[in-house]
Structure 1
Amino acid sequence: MSITNLIVHEIQKHEGERKAILIARPNENPVDMQAQALSEQVINLFNRSGMNTGRFSNPHGSDEGSQLPALLTKHFKDGAFLDFAGFSKECAAEYLKYLENVEEAEGGLLWFNHYELHDTHFLYIVLLKRKQGIGLGADLSLSQVEQIEIEKLHMALRINLSAWQAEDEGRYIAFRFGRAPKFESEYFTQFIGCDEPKAAAKETRKLVDLTSAFCQSEGLPSKQANDFKRVVSEHCQSKAEEREPLEIKDIAHEVETRFSVEQANKFLEIADSDSFKMEKEIFVEKAGLKKLTRLSGSSRALTMSFDSDLLGETVHFDADTGTLTIKELPKSLLKQLKSMS
């Protein structure tokens, strides 16, 4: 990763007040060891699961709504910012307008970071907070000092500038809210101007349903369907651990390898149908993958969950009567049942 531009501005605003003040740094911060270290920490926090993805509602900007895409169109040309300090000041001023509408919100530090990775340009806009810490002077005396809070992320945005400029149809925006309350996440989303932001959890649920729909449409036997679902789950788990997006065509490749080219095309056809409208790539939430390999359900008085591989083996379902027959009960449950008989 090569940092090209870096600057930090401060927005002062107290909770319960609408008035906010922008304290803009006149020129860019030097890209020194401290900046590199902070950038790496911010990126590591950002890359944790649960981020949202999307694209600009109006990629080139308009007079109404978010001005962020219009500012990018104005300042980012041929892989470089003409005036990064000027861009960041205008951007911070726009952020302030959304912030002032929310009395409960507080100010903070706006971190702008333009970097290049594998010939692709990215922009981070991150809200950082200050915190009180303890410092140790040269004479070993203790004193209170202000520090940047880097243990957790509040709100952050990453734009794939290369994909945006190339008018890519994919989701070139990724953003996350950390532990920000709902009112903060709402104004931050408005500031971004993102079209129908989707949480990784929602996309993962759609993928799980898509996989089940494909198995059902092809009439796969239970064991074959469960094996395929497990392969999909393992592939998704790997992407989630690597913090990389999953490409739907990769799952189609798994279908082709296990079944046929025709069935792989069928999988992509279902993915593109009105029922799913899957994106070409998605971020996966690991917790949501459990439904691929486990069956579960609950009512007010009963909760049940078991590995789908058990269906047809130790768990038998009678569709006509809507009943389950379970053999080889867990020892702890069996003991409780015997004690009550």
Structure 2
Amino acid sequence: MPIDNSIVHQIHKKPDGQPASLTLRDAELGNSEALEQLLAGLIEAYNSKPNKAWGYFHEESGAYPFSGWLQQLLDEEQDFVGFTKQSAEHLKTLMEGSNLALGGHVLFIRYRQGMTAFLIIALLHHTEGVTVTDDLEVAAARHLDLSALNMAARINLTEWKQNAASKQYISFIRGRSGKRVSDYFRDFIGCIEGANPEQETSTLLQAFQDYVGEADLPSDQLKDKTKAMSGYVSGQARQGEQVALEELSGLMDEEQPRAFYDYIRNKDYGLNPEIPPDKKTLNNFLKFYGKADGLSISFEAHLLGDRVEYDESDDSLVIKHPPKGLIQQLRNKRKP
């Protein structure tokens, strides 16, 4: 992934209500192997976060100036260093209004992935660890803790400029369980939440169920289409990419590549051509799971009606060809 520009600044702030301060870097970072490794690790950590939201820019205003500064950068009316200094100052001001906000290193990287340009912004913190030196001594080692990443946003610059109607060219990490700790970071970007990954994925899965249900497919074809659908959606979620419905349709049926796509359009499920995937919603669709009174059962959804049958009349499950390891344990238990 070619890096066009990168820089890091530092905001000093503790979650105690005290004023924040800022240390600014005056020049861009030079490209290096270490920087490329940092970007790769950052993207991997960012993509793995399940609690992301997607959206688009507020109209530029005094409260939401970031998109205007970014436009000036893209129009070459301002250089990258100046853009990031303005942005870091604005972030510092917003952090001072949040008692829970904690300072850190603010990393800005503009990079390209294929034909698409991105800007990623992340608030990074250090963690203490240990290492073994070349002299075989044990020593303290301080490094960036990407596993604890919880303040970051990524802007698809290409999508923003080429598709003005899009409402999902920004993604950012959202606070878990209704926590509003990250609200100041969302407001710093000036993002309005648009697409809801859980809801969009649920709608896609409902459309898939309706589609294969109306087609009344044999079990082997149903299994193949489910595998193609789940594999693609899961892969896009893992890479932090959106699900392109037309591409998904082609993977599900090479002979009629637009069949599923046209079905979604004609039935008016309200889905955009590209949607953000939610892996948890997909996993819940693909598996049945239950646990109670010392009994735990889990199986993949496609096995229902095949190796697993549910009899509603007497509320029982029949499992055919159970795992060999389980069978052996049962046989051993029966031995005198």
Give the TM-score range, shorter chain.
0.7 to 0.9
Residue 135 of structure 1: how far off its partner (Å)? 8.0
Aligned to 2:187: 190
Alignment of 1:142-161 (within 5 A): 147-161=143-157
Aligned to 2:52: 52
Any idea what the Cα deviations from partners look like across 1:68-117, whole Å, max 9, x if unmatched?
A: 2122123321xx57321111111112212221121122111101112234
| Correspondent of 1:246 among 233, 243, 246 | 243
Whether 2:55 is the aligned partner of 1:62: answer no
- 2:292 and 2:255 mapped to 1: Cα distance? 37
Whether 2:126 is the aligned partner of 1:130: answer yes
**Count of residue pairs brought into register by the alignment:** 328
TM-score, length-scaled by structure 1: 0.76
| Correspondent of 1:114 among 95, 110, 129 | 110
Alignment of 1:7-46 (within 5 A): 7-46=7-46
- 2:197 and 2:110 mapped to 1: Cα distance? 25
After superposition, the Cα gap between the structure-2 partners of 1:4 and 1:16, relative to the gap in structure 1 and judged at 3 Å, is: same
| Correspondent of 2:74 among 73, 76, 80 | 76
SS of 2:125's equivalent in the other structure is strand
- 1:135 and 1:180 mapped to 2: Cα distance? 36
Does the 8 Å contact 2:55/2:195 carry over to 1?
Answer: no
Residue 300 of structure 1: how far off its partner (Å)? 9.1
| Correspondent of 2:318 among 296, 321, 326 | 326
After superposition, the Cα gap between the structure-2 partners of 1:329 and 1:31, relative to the gap in structure 1 and judged at 3 Å, is: closer
Does the 8 Å contact 1:15/1:103 carry over to 2?
Answer: yes
* Identity percentage of aligned residues: 26
- 1:133 and 1:325 mapped to 2: Cα distance? 50
Give structure 1 stretches of 5+ with no counterpart.
Answer: none
Counterpart residue type for residue 118 of structure 2: F
Does the 8 Å contact 2:228/2:252 carry over to 1?
Answer: no
- 1:248 and 1:149 mapped to 2: Cα distance? 35
TM-score, length-scaled by structure 2: 0.77
After superposition, the Cα gap between the structure-2 partners of 1:323 and 1:102, relative to the gap in structure 1 and judged at 3 Å, is: same
| Correspondent of 1:89 among 73, 85, 91 | 85
After superposition, the Cα gap between the structure-2 partners of 1:249 and 1:297, relative to the gap in structure 1 and judged at 3 Å, is: farther
Give structure 2 stretches of 5+ with no counterpart.
Answer: none
Residue 119 of structure 1: how far off its partner (Å)? 4.2
Name whichever of 150-159 and 106-115 sits farther off.
Answer: 150-159
Q: CA RMSD in A?
A: 4.0
After superposition, the Cα gap between the structure-2 partners of 1:300 and 1:104, relative to the gap in structure 1 and judged at 3 Å, is: farther
- 1:211 and 1:314 mapped to 2: Cα distance? 22
Residue 129 of structure 1: how far off its partner (Å)? 1.0
Does the 8 Å contact 2:7/2:25 carry over to 1?
Answer: yes
